[in-house]
Amino acid sequence: MKPAETETSIVRTAGGPVSGLRKGFSTGSTSAAAVKASIRYYFEDVKFNSVEIKMPGGENASLKVASLSKFKLKSDDEYIISKSVLIKDSGDDFADVTGGIEICADFTVIDKKDKNAVKSFKKYYEKFLVYNIIKCPLCAGSAIIFASSKGIGIVKRKGLPVKAGFSAINPVPYKMIKSAAEEELKLKILELKTGAKDKRDYGGYDGKIFFSVLYVPEGEKIAERTLNQRLGIEGGISILGTSGYVVPISTKAWLETIKACLSFLKANKIDVCVFTPGRFSEKAALRIFKNICRESFIEIGDYVSYSLRKVSGTGIKNIIFAGQFGKIVKIAHGARNTNAKYTALDLGFLAETAKEAVKKYSENDAERIYGLIINSNTSREAFGYITSDDFNIYSGDILSKLLKKAAEKLHNIVKNADKDDNGADRGFGAETEADINVKAEGGNSIDIKIGIEIVLIDYCGNEIKRERL
């Protein structure tokens, strides 16, 4: 349940508890808006202060445009380039290192046969990496070339949503950029064709090349403060965002909201809850568990231990945790708070788990999968090996073993809730610490009969496997 949907909740924005804090926009949303603004201004002479884009959730959002300009590469050049600049607004998430940076987009239209123009265009941007080419709507034989330039990283290693060698623009932001560009171009071409007396009046855009170049002037410098280098992304920041928003997190508000949601379930005698670590997992879980009432779904963020301990005394008989691979690996290894600040992903633990599952079938394959996982760059890469054609016959056993370990860890948290709390009424800071390292001394374990179910969701939001304890 999004806490905003309970009367007791203090939440007023989508995407997680924020308690009065203002949400902002992701680099993905800002990039899509910048591309759209640059296209619009190319066809117009009047400047505008904002641009509206479609968000992944289906709603529209309006982003402010910082500046608009037009220029030529050379004074005698026939081609005009429009430029838009947007400032990434991270809302009240002051920890976001990309907050306040400029995200820029340039746009122009050139003749397909003018090879010199293409060369000079690429030379001007120095770093020029094409990340997709699509057909231009309403223009026969025309194409839109999407390229990235300075300040946007390039993926150099496997294991990320984007293939090595491509711009670090994740799938959801790319879809937003593509959709925004197509929408604006279609609108402008239609306007021109509708008002044209003949084909020449709207410039004859059939058979043209539409260039869109996205760049972040300070991106390379900002990237030094991110995990990009460790993940194998070089030369700039990543363009990210699955919801399109940056949602500031107030720990106190989040913990209060989880407690309020559980109180709501208790008051309404609802005996099942579905915990998810984020919005993507929750949307997937809603599709998977269609017969469970909407109120049972609670987004818990990284607060695994806190949420499980607060189930005690609510009358809940079944707890379902639905999440992606990386989170479940952390939980199976014993993480009480899955935030990277407190819990690193232990690929050694995962490699050992896989090896244990496979060695009863083949010692050689057990050693092979161990070596691949231990040398992986990310959990996504490791998951790719587990589910690859080479190891697919073992993947069910590996994932089953991992999920059972995770379910046992969650069950132990619930069982020892009283022992962990030690009878104390913790403040919110202490509750957060309790998620990290609880000393289980004193108190008594609770005699409970609560079912624990772990559901593994893939990177497309589909259920892969589930285990119940």
Residue 360 is part of which domain span? 251-468
Among 246, 266, 288, the domain boundary falls at 246
Among 246, 265, 290, the domain boundary falls at 246
| pTM attached to this predicted model | 0.70
Give pLDDT tens digits for 97-141.
Answer: 999 999 999 999 999 888 888 888 888 998 999 999 999 988 888
Cα–Cα–Cα angle for 347, 152, 18, nearest 5°? 70
5 occurs within a structural domain: no
The SS3 call for residue 393 is helix
8 occurs within a structural domain: no
421 occurs within a structural domain: yes
Shared-domain flag, residues 297 and 442: yes
Shared-domain flag, residues 258 and 388: yes
Query: Which range is least confidently modeled, 7-11, 209-213, 331-335?
Result: 7-11
Shared-domain flag, residues 169 and 275: no
Give pLDDT tens digits for 257-314.
Answer: 888 889 888 988 999 999 999 888 999 999 999 999 988 999 998 999 999 999 988 9
10 occurs within a structural domain: no
Give pLDDT tens digits for 392-433.
Answer: 999 999 999 999 999 999 999 998 886 655 433 344 444 454
Q: What are phi and psi of 138, to 5 degrees?
A: 75, 0
Q: Tally the domains of the chain.
A: 2
Shared-domain flag, residues 141 and 279: no
The SS3 call for residue 139 is coil
What CATH number is given to the structural domain containing 161? Answer: 3.30.2110.10
Which position has the token pair 């402010």? 64
Shared-domain flag, residues 29 and 67: yes
Q: Check residue 360 and report its DSSP letter.
A: T
Shared-domain flag, residues 205 and 228: yes
Distances (CA, A) of 326 to 169, 335, 381: 21, 11, 10
Shared-domain flag, residues 431 and 326: yes
Shared-domain flag, residues 324 and 451: yes
- Beta strands per DSSP E along 60-166: 60-64, 67-71, 81-87, 102-111, 129-135, 143-148, 151-152, 154-155
Shared-domain flag, residues 330 and 188: no
| Distant-in-sequence, close-in-space partners of 73: CB < 8 Å, separation ≥ 6 | 79, 81, 120, 121, 124
